[in-house]
Amino acid sequence: MSWPPTIAGLLALALWQGAVWATGVPAYLVPGPIAIVQAFLAAPGFLLLSLASTLVVTFTALAVSTVLGVSLAIAITASRWARAAIEPWAVALQVTPIVAIAPLVIAWVGEPFAALVACATIVAFFPIFSSTAIGLASPPPELLDLFRLNGASRWATLRLLRLPAALPYFLAGLRISGGLALVGAVVAEFVAGAGGFASGLAYRILESGYRLQIPRMFAALVLLSLAGIAINAALSTLGRLLLRRRGEA
Amino acid sequence: MTLLSIESVARRFPNGTEALRGASLSIAQGDFVALLGPSGCGKSTLLRLIAGLDAPNAGALHWQGGPPGPGEIGFVFQDATLLPWATAEENVWLPLRLRGLSREAAEPAIHAALARVGLQGFEGARPRELSGGMRMRVSLARALVGRPRVLLMDEPFAALDEFTRHALQDDLLALWRDTGSTIVFVTHSIYEAAFLARRIVVMTPRPGRIATEIASSLPPAPATRFTPEYGALVAEITAVLRSAVA
C-alpha cells in the first residue's frame, strides 16, 4: 500500500468523525466512522455471511461471463454470419439498464440464485466479450499470411495465434467485468428484495435502512466497496502474473 | 533449371488499382533476384502472387514440379512479425509445428536454423529481449527452417539501422552462397539490390510493370561494397530506373 491514499483516507475519516462530534448529528442521519465500525463489530459474522452470499453470485456470474464472452467472441471471429447475428444483441444487452430488466429476469427465471447470477452476468458479460473479440482480431495480417503459407487449419490458427494474442485483451476485459459482476449482483439483490434467497449484502443494506440501523447500513456499504477493491486487485494481479509468465508486461 | 516461370500476370484490385500489368519473369533454381522499384510498382504484389497469397486476374505461374505446398515457401516480411509470447526457439518451430512436427522432432532443424543466422545461445530469448536486427534474424531462421523451395523477402531490412542492415545483408549473401537457396528479394533500395542480387528486375509504377532486368556479376562478398564495379552498377541501375520512371 502506498502512503498518499492512506493518509488522505485517514484524514477524511478524522474530519468526518470530527464533524459528527462537533455538530452532534444523530447516527440515524449520518453515523461517524467509529459508529460504523462498532455496528460491524456488534455482529461481524452476520454481515460477512451476507458478503459471502453476494460474492458467490459475483464469481459465478464472472465465470459464466467468461465462458459465454469468450465463446461468443470466438464465434464472431470465426464467422461473418455469427458476427452479424450476435453483435447487435450483445450491444443491446449492454445498453439496457439492468435495473429496468432485473424484475423481468427475476420473475422469468424463478430460481432466486440463478436469477441473481443471470442479472449479474448480463452486466458483466460485455467487457469480456468485446475485448476478447478485439484481441482475437489483433494479430497482424503478416502473421495470418504466415499461418496460411504453412497450411494452418482454422483451429491451429485459433489455438496458436488468435487465442494467445487475445490473452492480454481478455485479462483487461476480465478486470472490468469483475467490478461489474459485483455491481450487477448487488443491483439484482436490491430488485429481488425481500424473501427467498435475499441474504446478500444489498438486502442487508435495504433491511438496515428500513430498521433505521444506519451505522450497519454504512458498514455493509463499506464491506461492499472493500470487496470491489479486492476483486479488482486480485484480477489485476492474476493478469500480471499470467503475462509475466509469458515474458510480457 | 527453371524453378518458376511467370507469364504475363496481371493484378487489378477491386478498388480499380492496377497493381501489376503483363509481368513476365523466369526464376531459376539458385537465383538471387531483386525486385526493385519505387512504391506502387507492384513488387510486393508480385511477391504475394509468387507466394500464392494472392491470385492474378490474368496470366499464370508455372512451377517446376507443381505449385508449392504448405511450408514450401519461406516468407520474410518487413517486420519480424514474431509471436511476442514465444521464445526464439518456439518462433522458429512454428512452421514445422503447423506441419505436425513435435518439438523434439523439430529440435535439430530449429538449432541448425538458429545457428545459420548466428543466434545460437538465444533459443530461450523472447522477442522483446532481442534487438531489431536479432528479431529479423529469428524471422529469417523461421523462414529457413522448413527448407523451402524458394525464399521470398519483402523489404526485410528496410526498418533496420544501417550497421545492422549491412551485417544482415552480408550474412544473407553468405547464406545464399553456402546453401544455394533461391531468393526473391523485394527492395526499394538501389544499393541493396546492387549488392545482393545476381539479377535486378527494375519495376515502374502506375500501372506496376517490369521495365527491364540488369544482370550482376559482382562477387557475392562484403568487400564488393567498396569496389568501383559496385559503384558503376549502382550508377547503371539509377540511370535505368530514372529513364524508366520518366
Tell me, what's the pLDDT at B17?
A: 86
B211 interfaces chain A, CB cutoff of 8 Å: no
Tell me, what's the pLDDT at B135?
A: 95
Closest CA to B197 of B211, B212, B208, B187: B187
Nearest-Cα distance to chain B for A144, in Å, is 10
Task: Identify all chain B residues contacting A151, using CB atoms and an 8 Å cutoff.
Answer: 69-71, 98-99
Strands, sheet with B2-12, edge to edge from the N-terminal-most edge strand = B18-28, B2-12, B58-63
| Pairwise CA distance, residues A47 & A75, whole Å | 42
> What 8-state DSSP symbol labels residue B226?
G
Q: Average of pLDDT values for B207-215?
A: 89
CA dist B229 → A177, A233, B225 (Å): 66, 66, 9
Task: Identify all chain B residues contacting A140, using CB atoms and an 8 Å cutoff.
Answer: 79, 81
| Pairwise CA distance, residues B201 & B42, whole Å | 12
Please report, in tens digits, the pLDDT of each residue of chain A (249 residues total). Answer: 578 888 999 999 999 999 999 998 888 888 999 999 999 998 888 889 999 999 999 999 999 999 999 999 999 998 889 888 888 888 888 888 888 888 888 888 888 889 999 999 999 999 999 999 999 999 999 999 999 999 999 999 999 999 999 999 999 999 999 999 999 999 888 887 755 556 788 888 888 888 888 999 999 999 999 999 999 999 999 999 999 888 775
For residue B28, pLDDT over 70 is answered with yes
Tell me, what's the pLDDT at B195?
A: 95
Cβ contact (<8 Å) for A149 and B73?
Answer: yes
> By the 8 A CB rule, do B120 and B45 touch?
no
Nearest-Cα distance to chain A for B118, in Å, is 23
User: What 3 state SS string does B52-101 have?
Assistant: CCCCCCEEEEEECCCCCCCCCEEEECCCCCCCCCCCHHHHHHHHHHHCCC
- In the block, residue with C-alpha cell 505436425: B100
| Pairwise CA distance, residues A231 & A227, whole Å | 6
Structural element, H or E, at residue B200: strand B199-204
For residue B244, pLDDT over 90 is answered with no
Burial of B179 (0-12, 13-18, 19+ CB in 10 A): middle
Q: Average of pLDDT values for B58-82?
A: 91
Domain A53-245 class? mainly alpha
Closest-approach residue (CA) in chain B for A138: B83
For CA atoms B185, B186, B189, B194, the dihedral sign is: positive
Tell me, what's the pLDDT at A1?
A: 59
A148 interfaces chain B, CB cutoff of 8 Å: yes
Instruction: Summarize pLDDT for B133-159 with one digit per residue, the tens.
Output: 999 999 999 999 988 999 999 999 998
B76 interfaces chain A, CB cutoff of 8 Å: no
Q: Which of B98, B126, B128 sits opposite A150 (nearest CB)?
A: B98
Instruction: Summarize pLDDT for A183-199 with one digit per residue, the tens.
Output: 999 988 888 775 555 67
Task: Identify all chain B residues contacting A169, using CB atoms and an 8 Å cutoff.
Answer: none
A167 interfaces chain B, CB cutoff of 8 Å: yes
B79 interfaces chain A, CB cutoff of 8 Å: yes
pLDDT level of residue B207 (50, 70, 90 thresholds): confident
| Pairwise CA distance, residues B240 & B211, whole Å | 9
Tell me, what's the pLDDT at A107?
A: 86
> What 8-state DSSP symbol labels residue A103?
H
% of chain B exceeding 90 in pLDDT: 74
Q: Report residue B205 as a C-alpha cell.
A: 509504377
B126 interfaces chain A, CB cutoff of 8 Å: yes
ipTM of this predicted structure = 0.92
Task: Considering only residues A102 and B169, tell me which one the structure prediction assigns the higher pLDDT.
Answer: B169
Instruction: Summarize pLDDT for A160-182 with one digit per residue, the tens.
Output: 999 999 999 999 999 999 999 99
For residue B205, pLDDT over 90 is answered with no
- Under 8 Å CB-to-CB from B168, ≥6 apart: which residues? B133, B136, B137, B140, B156, B157, B160
| Pairwise CA distance, residues A97 & A173, whole Å | 20
Q: Report residue A129 as a C-alpha cell.
A: 466479450
Tell me, what's the pLDDT at A249?
A: 58
Tell me, what's the pLDDT at A197?
A: 55
Task: Identify all chain A residues contacting B52, using CB atoms and an 8 Å cutoff.
Answer: 149
Tell me, what's the pLDDT at A191?
A: 83
Nearest-Cα distance to chain A for B14, in Å, is 19
Angle (CA) A37-A185-A74 rounded to 5° is 135
- Output phi, psi for B123, to 5 deg: -55, -40
Peptide bond into A139 cis (omega under 30): no
Averaged pLDDT of chain B:
92
Instruction: Summarize pLDDT for B80-120 with one digit per residue, the tens.
Output: 999 999 999 999 999 999 999 999 999 999 999 999 899 98
Nearest-Cα distance to chain B for A66, in Å, is 22
Closest-approach residue (CA) in chain A for B68: A149
Closest CA to A214 of A36, A79, A56: A36
Nearest-Cα distance to chain B for A128, in Å, is 21
| Pairwise CA distance, residues B89 & B123, whole Å | 5
> Beta B58-63 vs B199-204: how paired, if at all?
unpaired
CA dist B233 → A105, B15, B217, B239, B244 (Å): 78, 38, 10, 10, 16
Kindly provide the b/e burial profile for residues B29-54, where b requires at least 16 CB atoms within 10 angstroms of the residue's own CB.
eebbbbbbbeebbbbbbbbbbbbbbb
SS3 assignment, position A62: helix
Q: Which of A142, A152, A167 sits opposite B98 (nearest CB)?
A: A152
CA dist B162 → B29, B72, B127, B157 (Å): 30, 31, 21, 9
Rg value, chain B, Cα: 18
B191 interfaces chain A, CB cutoff of 8 Å: no
> By the 8 A CB rule, do B206 and B21 touch?
no
Task: Identify all chain A residues contacting B83, using CB atoms and an 8 Å cutoff.
Answer: 143, 160-161, 164
The residue ranges of every structural domain in chain A are 53-245
